[in-house]
Structure 1
Amino acid sequence: MIRAVLIAAFGLLAVPALAGTVTDSSGRVVEIPDRVDAVFAAGPPASILVYALKPEALTGWPRALRPEERPYIAEPFRDLPETGRLTGRGGEANLERVLAIDPDLIVDFGSVRDTYRDLAERTQAQTGIPYILVNGRFEATPEALRLVGAALGVPERGAALAADAEATFAAIDAILADVPLEARPRVYLARGPDGLETGTVGSINTEIIERAGGRNVADPGDGRPGGLVQASIEQVILSDPDIIVTWDRTFYAKVFDDPLWAGIKAVREGRVHLSPTAPFGWIDRPPSLNRMIGLRWMARLLYPDRWPGALRDEARDFYRLWYHVDLSEDDLDRLLEWSAGRPPN
C-alpha cells in the first residue's frame, strides 16, 4: 500500500522488466522476477543506485535521512523507513527484517570480492530472494547503471544516466590528454575532525582524486591495494600537497588557524576545499553514484581554467537528473557554501 502511494505521488509507473536471468558483476547468474517493484538495498551505495534509477522501488534507506539531507531528495521518498544494512561497517539488518519487507530483489553495490559474493549466495539461499552484486568502481559506473536499469525494468533510464557518466569521463579524459602525470596537482584527502585519516592510492575513497586527474599524495609506492589509513601530520607536511579536500566541517573550520598545518602549501595558498555532503557526500560517504557530481567538482578544482560552466548550474542539473529534485536557490546556497575554498590570508 505504501509503495503504491509513493508511485502515485511521484507520477511513475513500474515498467515490466524482461530480465529473467541476470549475470551480475561477480559472474553469478541470478534469476529475477519479470517485474521488480520492491528492492532491498544491502548498503548505502546500493540505496543511491536504486534511488537514482527507480526510486519508487526502494523499500527504505539503510540510515534514515537527516533533516539537512531531506531537501535534496524528492519529497515522496524523504520518509522511507530505516532498513539497516547487510554489508559494510555496522551491517545490522537481519534476515528476518529482510523477509518482513519481502522485496523482489536485493541489490549490493560496491566490492565484488569473495566475501561479498559469499554473503550474497548465503542470503539468497536462506531467504529465497534474488540478490545481485554490482561493481561499484568508478570505471564500471556506466555498466552498473545499464545492468541494474535493465534488472529493474527501466533500461532507458539506466542508459540515460550511463551516457551522462560517460560524458563526464570523456570530458575529464580530454583535459588530461595533454597534461603529463608530473604536471598534475598533488592532492590530499583529509578525513575526520583532525584531517589525518586518508585513503591511499587505489582506495575506493580516493578514487575520485585519481579519476579527476589529481595525484594522491598518500601513495605508499609498494603496490598494495588501497585503503583507509591513519596518517601523521609529519607525513602530510612532508608530502606538501597542492590541494586538500575534505568533507569534515570541524577540520575545515580550524585548519587555516592551526599552526601544525600552516606551512603546508595548500593551506598557505587557501586551497583547502570543503565538499558538499547533502544528501550524500561528493567525495565518498558513501562511494556511490553521488561521486559523479563530486567528480565534476573535483575536476573544476584541479583544472579551473579547463572545466567549463558554473558549478551552481551543474549541481542544479545533476540533482534534477540523478536525484529527481528541483533545488531552490536557498537549497543551492546551503549545498555549495564554502565549497570553493578560502582565499589565503
Structure 2
Amino acid sequence: MRLHLLVCTALFAPPLAAEPVTFTDHEGREVTLPAPAQRIASIPIPMASTLIAIDGATDRLVGMNPTAKSAIMEGILGQIFPEARDIPSDITAPNFIPNVEELARVNPELVIQWAGRGPDYIDPITNAGLNLMTIRYGSEELTREYMTMAATAMGRPERIAPLIEWRAEVQADMEARTAGLADEDRPSVLYLLRAMDNLRASGTENNYNAWYHMLAGGRNAAEDMVGGWADINVEQVATWNPDVIFLNSFEADLTLDRIMNDPILSLTNAAQSGRVYKMPLGGYRWDPPNQESPLTWMWTANLLHPDLFDYDLRAEMRTAYQVLYGHDLTDADIDEILWMDMQGGQANYAQFAAP
C-alpha cells in the first residue's frame, strides 16, 4: 500500500508557522485558534492515540481519558512513547463528564469532547473559557473528518492527506475483492464488546464493527437485532450460531476460553471450527475506528476470506508503525499485538506467524 511514501517525509516534517487556524467541528461550531494548539486535552477515548499518531509525538497531549491511558499502558504505545504513561488521565469524570478542576490544572489550549451529548458535556468546558472541539464517532466518514480536524488544530495538515489516502486505498481494494460475493458466501460474524460479566453484541445501526465486517466479506450474525448495541445471553448467541466470533480487546483478562470453555458457546460454529479471535491491541485497540483501522480491516479480511485476501499483515504493520509512530516493529512486537501466543493455533491464524 502507498503508505510507505510517508515514511521519510511526513512524520518528521516541521509544523507550519504559527498562524491562526479555523475549522468547523461536528456540532457545526466554528473553532478558531490563534495558533496551532500546543496543549490538547482529549476526553473521547480513541483520540489520545490518534493525536500522538498525527503529530508523531506526545508533546501536545496534556490530558486524556483513563480508558485511553489503559490502552497505552497495556499496549505497545507505552513502550514506543514511555513518557505517555505520565500524562494525566483524570480530566473526565465517569461517562465523559469533564473534570473542570483538572482541566484547569493542565491548562489546555484545546479540549476535545464528544458531540451530541448535551450541555452537561459541553458547558463546563466553554464556561471555563476553554477552546472546544467536538467530534462524532461510529463511521469511517466521521473518523476521517475528526482526524482532519485534529491535524488542522495541530497545524499538521501535511500529515493527514496521506493517512486518509491510505484508508481510502485499502477500503477500495477490499470493496473490489468482495464485490461479487453472494450472501451465502459471507460468513456470519458476531463481535462482543463485552464478554466477561455480560455479553454485549454489535448490531447494524451506526455500528463501525458491522461496517468493516461487511467490508471484509462478512455479514452480521446479529443483523436482526434492533439498534447498534444490545446486551444478550448465551442462548441468543446459540440461536444466531455465528461462523466467526471476535472478542473485544477492552477487557484485559478476556481470553478465548470465555467461548471455548462455555457449555453453550463452545457449541457454536465459530468455536467448533476454531474461528474465535481476540481483537489485537496495537497503538490503540483495533476494535473501534482509530489511526490503525486499515490494519484491522486487513487482519479481518485475511481471517474471513483467506481465499480472497492475502495481505502481508506483518509487512503492512511494520510500514504503518514507522509512518504513524516512527517505530520499527520487531517480530516480538507483532506477536504481542496479534496475541500470537494465545491464538496462533486458531483457524487461519498461522498466516500471521513470523517467517
Q: TM-score range by the shorter chain?
A: 0.7 to 0.9
Structure 1 residue 277: Cα displacement:
1.9
With 66-75 and 233-242 compared, the bigger mean Cα shift is at 66-75
Q: Does 1:268 align with 2:272?
A: yes
- Output one character per residue of 1:17-42: Cα deviation in whole Å (capped at 9) or x when no partner: 54532211221112222231111111
- Match of 2:62, SS state, is coil
Question: What is the one-letter code of the residue matched to 1:206?
Answer: N
Q: Paired residue for 1:202?
A: 205
Counterpart contact for 1:175–1:306, Cα < 8 Å: yes
From 307, 310, 325, the counterpart of 1:308: 310
Q: Any conservation in 1 of the 2:96–2:121 contact (CA below 8 Å)?
A: no
1:75 corresponds to which residue?
81
Matches within 5 A, 1:205-284: 206-207=209-210, 208-220=212-224, 224-227=226-229, 229-247=230-248, 250-284=254-288
TM-score (norm 1): 0.82
- For residues 179 and 86 of structure 1, what CA distance do their matches in structure 2 show? 45
Secondary structure of 2:41's counterpart equals strand
2:86 counterpart SS class:
coil
Structure-to-structure mapping, 1:1-345, within 5 angstroms:
14-16=15-17, 18-54=19-55, 55=57, 56-63=59-66, 64-65=69-70, 67-70=73-76, 73-75=79-81, 77-86=83-92, 89-91=94-96, 93-108=98-113, 112-113=115-116, 115-116=117-118, 118-119=119-120, 121-136=122-137, 137-190=139-192, 191-193=194-196, 196-204=199-207, 206-207=209-210, 208-220=212-224, 224-227=226-229, 229-247=230-248, 250-284=254-288, 287-336=289-338, 337=340, 338-339=342-343, 342-343=346-347
Shift of 1:251: 4.3
In 2, Cα distance between the equivalents of 1:259 and 1:120?
A: 43
Distance in 1 between residues matched to 2:184 and 2:197, nearest whole Å: 29
TM-aligned CA distance change 1:135 to 1:43, over 3 Å: closer
> Matched residues in 1 for 2:131 and 2:75: separation?
31
Q: Indicate conservation of the 8 Å contact 1:83/1:93, yes or no.
A: no
**Match of 1:62, as an amino acid?**
N
> In 2, Cα distance between the equivalents of 1:101 and 1:72?
20
Give 1:176 shift: 2.3
> Where does residue 6 of structure 1 map in the other structure?
none
Cα 1:70–1:43 change in 2 (3 A) is same
Structure 1 Cα separation of the partners of residues 18 and 213 of structure 2: 36
Counterpart Cα distance in 1 of 2:196 and 2:82: 34
What TM-score, normalized by structure 2, do the two folds share?
0.80
Aligned identity (percent) is 24
Which structure is higher in RCO with an 8 Å CA cutoff and minimum separation 6? 2
Separation of aligned partners in 2, 1:211 and 1:329:
28
Please, which runs of 5 or more residues in structure 2 have no aligned partner? 1-10, 349-355
CA distance in 2 between partners of 1:179 and 1:340 (Å): 28
Shift in CA distance, 71/251, structure 1 to aligned 2, threshold 3 Å: closer
Deviations 1:122-153 (A, max 9, x none): 13431222111123322333333222212210
Instruction: State the aligned residue count.
Output: 325
Distance (Å, rounded) in 1 between the aligned partners of 2:205 and 2:231: 16
Deviations 1:209-268 (A, max 9, x none): 3443321112335xx5312x2212121111111111113553412422433123211111
Q: CA deviation at 1:270?
A: 0.9
Bigger drift between 143-152 and 189-198 goes to 189-198
- Residues 36-93 of structure 1 deviation map (CA, whole Å, 9 limit, x = unaligned): 1111111221212211112331113423456542556533543332233548x54365
Distance 1:339 1:225, change over 3 A: same
In structure 2, how many angstroms separate the alpha carbons of the residues matched to 1:145 and 1:71? 18
Structure 1 residue identity aligned to 2:89: T
C-alpha separation in 1, matches of 2:183 and 2:168: 22
More deviation, 41-50/241-250:
241-250
2: distance between equivalents of 1:134 and 1:91?
13
Looking at structure 1, the residues matched to 308 and 78 of structure 2 have their Cα atoms a distance apart, in angstroms, of 28
- Per mean C-alpha deviation after superposition, the further-off stretch among 331-340 and 260-269 is 331-340
Matched residue SS, 2:266: coil
Separation of aligned partners in 2, 1:133 and 1:341 = 43
Distance in structure 2 (CA, Å) of the matches to 1:214 and 1:19: 45
